[in-house]
Structure 1
Amino acid sequence: MANFLKKLFGGNDKGAGGDGGDRNGDGPTLAEPDLTIARANNEMQMRTQTAINMWGLDTAAWNADLDAGTITFTNDEKGLVVTAPVQVVGTYNTEDGTWLWGWDHPSVSEPLGEHARRVRDFGERYGLNALTTRKIEASKADAWGFTALACHLGGGQGGYSGPDGPALVFMTYGAVTISKKG
């Protein structure tokens, strides 16, 4: 898992050419899959900040309807209701520190595991066991990294994590519809 974290957060010492530097000498050059993972994390940070600024993601209540395939955020402070299609990337068990992928989760229907399956396919392509093993030991930071990658590969608009008993459900969401709270 430590090697995956290094890749996930740009801790790789060697670049695409193996020399550890880029063409300009400014830092490491990232090769696939490192480049995609770094891009996904950067995108997630920007998308999250945009959602916080636009409709108050950080202060909104949430509700996921997995039968309908939607997530709803209600922000009383801003008087807004935001709805979007949802995907379940996986669940993180806070009691034992394990991650269970949405692509093979008993509570996740096949259509809602599509973004998770894209991560599995990416992991298969690049030999990343953390992305292709159904249940693994992981950290909350790993779970966010998996969610960022799922959002990037699936074309999502953002990611969210909400509690469900002792687990945290990590989700991506698509294009949002914003309306005034009635």
Structure 2
Amino acid sequence: MKFLDSLFGKKEKPAPIEEPAASDDADAVVDVIFERADAELQLKTEAAMGLWGLGSGESWAADLEAGTITFVNAKGWEINAPVQVIGTLNTADGTWLWGWDHPSVPAPVSLHAGLVRDFGAQHGLEALTTRKIEADETDGWTFAALACHLAGAQGAYRGPAGDALVFMTYGEVSIRDPNAG
């Protein structure tokens, strides 16, 4: 283990998320799922940052018809992955529009958003089952983390599109270094 610590640097482990007791109510179970999803996304984001430079000024483009997202990092590497749109946050009016009923999102790339809607229906969470709601960027990340967790996605990304922020999950990445011989 000391070898791995020296190779990757020793970091503090996040506090474990406690399982609710059987007698706890359904709200506690839902809270634990949200906490777990957030912690999971944080770890996946840290891994992507370290492995291929997510968040280091990369450019990105999503092709919703093809269902793919492409990042180009500072080294010129092309990172491609399948993409799903969870929803969009309109920064002008503070509203969230779910990907599962978004006029600009083809049905095949809204499946992860649909998982969140189904989870919301199962647990009586109106914010997850109402097409358009008031929200902020923190809410968008919460929704993306939950989608990432429910779908077993590799990570989530938020990109600007005019006055909107598009929250997406992505699947297994492939990395190509066009500068490699």
TM-score bracket for this pair, using the shorter chain length: 0.7 to 0.9
Between the aligned partners of 1:168 and 1:181, the Cα distance in structure 2 is 29
Between the aligned partners of 1:18 and 1:69, the Cα distance in structure 2 is 40
Between the aligned partners of 1:181 and 1:53, the Cα distance in structure 2 is 19
Q: Which runs of 5+ in 2 are unaligned?
A: 1-19
Match of 1:180 among 159, 177, 180: 177
Give the RMSD, CA atoms, in angstroms: 1.5
Deviations along 1:83-120, one digit per CA (max 9) or x if unpaired, are 00000000000011100000000001111000000000
Between the aligned partners of 2:103 and 2:91, the Cα distance in structure 1 is 18
Match of 2:63 among 51, 62, 65: 65
Between the aligned partners of 1:108 and 1:125, the Cα distance in structure 2 is 24
Between the aligned partners of 2:139 and 2:28, the Cα distance in structure 1 is 20
- The Cα shift of 1:181 comes to 2.7
Partner of 1:181, secondary structure, is coil
**Equivalent position amino acid for 2:160 in 1:** P
Correspondence 1:88-99 to 2 at 5 A: 88-99=85-96
Match of 2:43 among 46, 50, 54: 46
Match of 1:87 among 84, 90, 95: 84
Between the aligned partners of 2:103 and 2:64, the Cα distance in structure 1 is 13
Residue aligning to 1:143? 140
Aligned residues, how many? 157
Residue aligning to 1:100? 97
TM-score (norm 1): 0.82
- The Cα shift of 1:80 comes to 1.2
Q: Which runs of 5+ in 1 are unaligned?
A: 1-14, 20-29
Cα distance change on mapping 1:18 and 1:152 into 2, 3 Å: closer
Partner of 2:28, secondary structure, is coil
Residue aligning to 1:164? 161
Deviations along 1:152-177, one digit per CA (max 9) or x if unpaired, are 11111000011110000000000000
Partner of 2:44, secondary structure, is helix
Please state if 1:118 is matched with 2:112.
Answer: no
TM-score (norm 2): 0.83
Residue aligning to 1:155? 152
Between the aligned partners of 1:42 and 1:168, the Cα distance in structure 2 is 22
- The Cα shift of 1:18 comes to 5.0
Please state if 1:35 is matched with 2:49.
Answer: no
Q: 1:55–1:78: 8 Å Cα contact kept in structure 2?
A: no
Correspondence 1:21-32 to 2 at 5 A: 31-32=28-29
- The Cα shift of 1:139 comes to 1.1
Partner of 1:106, secondary structure, is coil
**Equivalent position amino acid for 2:113 in 1:** A
Deviations along 1:8-60, one digit per CA (max 9) or x if unpaired, are xxxxxxx65459xxxxxxxxxx8321121111100110111111111111121
- The Cα shift of 1:69 comes to 0.5
